[in-house]
Every structure is written in structure tokens, then in C-alpha cells.
Amino acid sequence: MKKKSAFSTVMGYAGGFRILTYLSVILSALTGVVALLPFVYIWRMIKEVLEVSPDYGRAVNVVHNGWMAVIFSLVYMLLYFTALMCSHTSAFRVATNMKKALLEKIADLPIGFADEMGSGKVRRIITETTGSTETLLAHNLPDMAQAVITPIAMIVMLFIFDWRFGLACLIPVITAFLMMFRMAGPKMQEDMKKYQDALERMSNEAVEYVRGVPVVKTFGQTVFSFHRFKKAIDDYGNFCLSYTDSTRTSMTLFTVFINSAFAFLIGLVLLLTGGSDAGMDILVNFLFYVIFTPVIVTTMNRVLFMSENNMKLEDAVERVNSILDIEPLKKGSEDMKPRDASVEIKNVTFSYSADSKPALKNVSLKADNDEVIALVGPSGGGKTTAAGLIARFFDPQAGSVRIGGVDVRDISKKDLMNTVSYVFQDSRLLKRSIAENLRLAKEDATDSELMAALHAAQCDDIIGRLPDGINTVLGSGGTYLSGGEQQRIAIARAMLKKAPIVILDEATAFADPENEVLVQKAFTELTKHSTVIMIAHRLTTIRNADRIYVLDSGEVREQGTHEELLKRKGLYHDMWNEYQSAISWKVTA
């Protein structure tokens, strides 16, 4: 099957507005011809004045030619304005529909997709890449039509008046075109992709750097502590310098030749006259080409950027499709309902990408209905990955994840989201009111239900000091919450949801001691009558769990209760001793 062109793909997003794009191209092409006519009438004015000199009273057509130059200039502006109105209307619809298609697609993709691709890259594709199609269709496409038609009309006119002068003008044009091809040839497509890739890497690393600024400031580090971010900037700078250097000679020659038509014209005049006084016909034709040649510069620049804009459009479509072509997770059935809140991961193997090592290798663990299990182990052991599979942020490559005896792949998204509540280690709230943030869990919740959830989550002190209570908009008027306070609001949201399965992923990691006590009290309320999967580095928080799984390098190394694991004197025993030593450290004078 023949692959659709980038332009055809983009026009698919225009819907019924695509006719405006085609109309803008036609009108813009007309302007490419009309734009040349004022030069003709200006030349006629000069020609008539020179021919009747010194009896200027015989120049009876000067006023007529002058008005014709003005009229065609106004027609040009009107046609071009109409073309831009049509192209902008269609371009805005295309950009809007592309954004909608991307957001609808992302809504169907697993939550883990953004982590895998990089939130910075995803953001850039949605905002900047779709925005670039708007610029291309609204401005560059009409200009491209002119860039095609104007040179044709220009060449015809160059040879109508005097083929010798036309040939003299054509020599620098052809030479400039050859220089342009060296810059904008096939290699530029590859360079354009490298340029956009470098921007995306910088965007991704910038997001990660900003997220890590508190750590940098706390420990007095510099940007050099974020080697990947610095490397992304250096790589971008080196690429730009290298590309600029490679096109420097070609661009210089291109600029010289498109501005050198005057030199060729003067040389031709000297050649034709042999150094003697020029004849009137030669002088008149020479004046026409002197007036006309500035159009060559504008036209050739448009041709140069036309090839670049085509490549930008192809690159934009390819990047948008990199998201749209991702296969969503298989939709579950509305008929498959979990029988209870038990959780079982059985013989699961999972890798984040085909070329990465497995994050989980043949892992099996289970939590019976209303049990509390804990996942512990060294960083990178696979704890968060296992929890994410339960919430179906991803699907495993092998094995199965079951809730209430039903494979999560067979449960509908709505039922799964109502069954599982996930509290992240670094919960973020939207810049909206407390009430609106809570109602993300239950749209029709009453104010009394919100207050009950906030009370159970130990948030009374937070609501009490906010100027408008639960209607206070976060992030406005200097209203901000600490990490621990945001965590308690997130727990209140989870309580409002009343999901039978609760996953706590390092939920006290960023809480200060005071907030940690309140968060722990909130956990006690949240986990009542629920199956709980808890990930923790603070081992004291999970010592009463019904079962503890120790994960290391993507495998379950040990499992059992706190006392059973200590008696085995394995990895958990060592972790416990190290943890006890760490919390007993004291600073002495």
C-alpha cells in the first residue's frame, strides 16, 4: 500500500476546512503573477518618459500606467490577504484536531507510556510540533505556491523584453539554485531529524532537571551534577555549530549570487555597447531589469525555505504518528468483574523496551482479600514496576496479573480504576480548588463527603488555614502546600474513591516528621477493609504486614512475615540491621 504523503496526512485533520487550504494555494499562486505586474507598469512609465524626452508633454500614458501599478498592487494585497485568511482558518482547525487526536490517543494509552517516552518529549509533540504545522499551513504553504508560480512568470517576463538580459539574470539564478541544492538536498532531511531529536532530548532532560532543582539547592550542587542535561545542551550546541559550519560556504555563495544580477546586467550592457553610448532600446530594457531583479532575491529565498518547510512538515507528521501509532492496551470486558479484592502476580516477566533488560523476571506474589503485603528491597529491584502492573500501567510480556481471579487485561478500564487506588510517592495536585482535586475521584461527591474524607486523612489543619476552605484554588494568591500536605490531600482523594485495593508507593518518602505521623494516621483510615500493597524503604512502616516480599534485580528473593524473614538472616535481615543503624545515628557536638 502506497504511503500517504505528509501533506495528505495533515489535510486529513482539516475535515471540511481543507477546501480553504486549496483555495489559499490558488489565490496565492495568482498573487505570484499579479505581484509582477506593477513592475511592468512602472517600467512603461519610465520608458515613455525617456522616449518623449525632452518633450514630456507627449507622455500621455504616465498617469494611466501609474494608476495601473497602484491598482495591481492593491489587487495583490487583497488576494494575498484573502489567501492568508483561508490558510489560517484551515491551519487552526488542523492544529486543533491534531491536538485532540493526540490527547484522545494518550487517554487510551497506559499511564506508563509517558515515563517510557519522556514527558518532555510528549509535551513538545503536543504543543510545539502540532503548532509547527499551523505555521507551515497558515504562512509557508501560500508562500510555497508563490515560490513555484513566481519564478515561472518571472522567467517568461525576463525573456519577453530582451532575451539577452533575461539570460544574464538567469545565470546567477541557476548558480544560486545549485548552491541551494547543496544545502537543502537529501542530507537536510536527515539533519532536520537530528535537530528535532536534539531539541526533544533537551526538553526531556530539562523537565528532569527542574524536578531535581530542590535536590540541587539542598545539597549545593551545580548544573554539572546533572550530566545528562548538560550533555543534551552540549550535543545540541555542537550539532548546530557543525551544521552551520557545513553550510557556511554554500549559504555565502547563494547570498552573493542572488544579489549579483546587477553585476551581470552591467557587464552585458558594456558588452553590447562596446563601451560606446548605449542605444535607447538597450537603456530602456536595462532599466526594466534593474527594477525587476529585486524580485529575484525574494523569490529565491522563498524557494530555499520551501524545501525546508516540506521537511519540517514531514518531520512533524512523523513525530505525531510516533504517538498515534502506539498500540493501546487491549480493552477489557464489561462482563468480567473481580469476585473480591485479592491480587495475584503469577510468573510475570516484564521489560520496558525490547532492548532493555527485564525489570521483572518470573515474579510471583499474592495478596489475599483484605491482606496487607509489603514490597521491599534495594532501589531498582522492581517494586514500583510490580505495583504498576497491578494498576495496569503496563502489560507484562509473560505471565499474568489477576484481581479477584480475573486477569486485569480482561477487566474494563472503568472497573479497574474503581477497584484500584494508587497513592504515588510524590503526589501532585492540579492548580484548581481542593474540592475539584478531590472530585477527580468521585465527580458527584457532596461537600459533606469531601469534608469527611479530608477529616479521615488528617487534613483538618490544612483546610482550617486556607482562605476559602475546600474552595481555595491552589497555586493562586500565594497558596501552596508542602509535599506532606499534598500527600494528605491525595490520600483524602483515595479515601473518597473507596477502592477495595490500595497501592501505596513510598507514600511517606518526602514527608517531614510531623507530616509523616499524620500521613501514617491517614493510612490507617485508608487501608481499613482494603487489600493493601505497600512499597516502603522505611521498614518500620511495614513490620506488621501480613506478608513481605523482598525484590532484588527483578526477582523475589525472600517472602514471609517480619519475624520469619529476620530469622532467615538473609537480605531482609541485612536491610533491617542497616536501617536500624541509620535511624540510630546522632549528631554530637
Which pLDDT value is given to residue 110?
A: 75
Q: Are residues 362 and 252 in the same domain?
A: no
Q: Are residues 511 and 372 in the same domain?
A: yes
Half-sphere exposure of residue 174: CA atoms within 13 angstroms, side-chain side = 8
Q: Are residues 162 and 304 in the same domain?
A: yes
Instruction: Using alpha carbons, list the distances in angstroms from residue 182 to 195, 252, 254.
Output: 18, 12, 10
Q: Are residues 422 and 273 in the same domain?
A: no
Maximum distance among all Cα pairs of the chain, rounded to whole angstroms: 119
357-361 average pLDDT score:
89
- Tens of pLDDT, residue by residue over 416-442, are 888 888 887 767 788 888 899 999 888
* Residue ending a domain, choose from 294, 324, 354: 324
| 452 in Cβ contact with 512 (< 8 Å) | no
Which pLDDT value is given to residue 514?
A: 61
- Tens of pLDDT, residue by residue over 376-414, are 988 888 888 898 899 888 888 899 999 999 999 898 888
Interior/surface letters 193-232, b for 16+ CB within 10 angstroms, e for the rest: eebbbbbbbbbbbebebeeeeeeeeeeeeeeeebeebeeb
Q: Are residues 220 and 364 in the same domain?
A: no
Give 472-480 contacts, CB < 8 A, sequence gap 24+. Answer: 472/433, 472/434, 473/431, 473/432, 473/433, 474/429, 474/430, 474/431, 474/432, 474/433, 474/434, 474/437, 475/431, 476/431
Q: What one-character-per-residue DSSP string does 430-463 give?
A: -SSBHHHHHTTT-TT--HHHHHHHHHHTT-HHHH
Q: Is the pLDDT of residue 224 over 70?
A: no
Note whether residue 240 is domain-resident. yes
Interior/surface letters 509-543, b for 16+ CB within 10 angstroms, e for the rest: bbbeeebbebbbebbeebbeebbbbbbbbebebbe
Structural domains in the chain (count): 2
Round to whole Å and give the CA distance between 139 and 312.
13
* 272 φ/ψ sector (left φ>0, alpha ψ -120 to 50, else beta): alpha
- Tens of pLDDT, residue by residue over 488-508, are 888 888 888 888 898 888 765
Decide the pairing of beta strands 406-407 and 531-535.
Answer: unpaired
By mean pLDDT, which of 167-176, 343-352, 390-399, 449-458 is the weakest? Answer: 167-176
Which residue range forms the structural domain that includes residue 555? 343-583
198: CATH:
1.20.1560.10
Half-sphere exposure of residue 283: CA atoms within 13 angstroms, side-chain side = 11
Which pLDDT value is given to residue 423?
A: 81
Residue 589: pLDDT band (50, 70, 90) is very low
567: CATH:
3.40.50.300
* Residue ending a domain, choose from 324, 354, 387: 324
Backbone angles phi and psi of 558, in degrees to 5: -145, 160
- Tens of pLDDT, residue by residue over 168-209, are 777 887 787 777 777 766 666 677 777 777 777 777 777 667
| 486 in Cβ contact with 429 (< 8 Å) | yes
Which pLDDT value is given to residue 399?
A: 92
Q: Are residues 284 and 359 in the same domain?
A: no
- Tens of pLDDT, residue by residue over 237-275, are 888 888 888 878 888 888 888 777 777 777 777 777 765
Q: Are residues 296 and 358 in the same domain?
A: no
Q: Are residues 109 and 53 in the same domain?
A: yes
Q: Are residues 261 and 166 in the same domain?
A: yes
Q: Is the pLDDT of residue 276 over 60?
A: no
In 133-276, which ranges are E strands?
Answer: none
Which pLDDT value is given to residue 549?
A: 93
Q: Are residues 358 and 288 in the same domain?
A: no
Round to whole Å and give the CA distance between 477 and 465.
14
Q: Are residues 140 and 222 in the same domain?
A: yes
Q: Is the pLDDT of residue 448 over 50?
A: yes
Note whether residue 1 is domain-resident. no
Round to whole Å and give the CA distance between 416 and 341.
11
* Residue ending a domain, choose from 324, 352, 373: 324
Angle made by CA atoms 526, 527, 530, in degrees to the nearest 5: 120
